[in-house]
C-alpha cells in the first residue's frame, strides 16, 4: 500500500513540465499548416514559426486544438503594405 501512496504523491507533486515523448515529436505536424513543429523546452510548447502560434503540452500530451494555441508574435504590418 505504501508504494501506491508514493505513486500518488509523485503524480500530484510534479511541478516541472513534462515534455512529450521524443519519438512522437517527429510525427507531429501543425493541424493548420501541416508543417513540422519545433519543441520549445523553456515554455514546454510546440511552436509553428510560420504561423506564429504555440501549442501547449499538458502532462506530456500536446494539445493540438487550434483554439488552445497562443499567438507567439503578431504579423508585421509590412506584409499588408507590400502591395502598391
Residue 47 makes CB contacts below 8 A (sequence gap 6+) with 37, 38, 39, 40, 53, 54, 55, 72
Residue 2 domain flag? no
Residue 43 domain flag? yes
pLDDT at 24: 84
Structural domain boundaries enclosing 66 = 37-75
**Number of domains into which the chain is organized:** 1
Residue 46 domain flag? yes
Residue 8 binned pLDDT confidence (cut-offs 50, 70, 90): very low
Which residue, 37, 36, 42, is CA-closest to 19? 42
Give the pTM: 0.66
Residue 59 domain flag? yes
* For residues 21-50, average pLDDT: 92
Residue 18 domain flag? no
Which CATH number covers residue 57? 2.20.25.10
- Cα separation, 67 vs 84, whole angstroms: 34
Which residue, 62, 45, 63, is CA-closest to 54? 45
Residue 23 domain flag? no
- Cα separation, 46 vs 16, whole angstroms: 17
Amino acid at each position: 500500500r505504501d508504494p501506491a501512496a508514493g505513486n500518488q504523491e509523485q503524480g500530484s507533486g510534479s511541478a516541472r513540465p513534462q515534455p512529450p515523448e521524443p519519438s512522437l515529436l517527429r510525427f507531429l505536424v501543425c493541424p493548420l499548416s501541416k508543417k513540422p513543429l519545433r519543441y520549445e523546452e523553456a515554455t514546454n510548447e510546440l511552436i509553428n514559426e510560420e504561423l506564429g502560434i504555440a501549442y501547449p503540452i499538458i502532462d506530456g500530451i500536446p494539445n493540438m486544438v487550434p483554439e488552445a494555441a497562443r499567438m507567439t508574435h503578431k504579423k508585421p504590418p509590412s506584409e499588408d503594405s507590400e502591395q502598391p
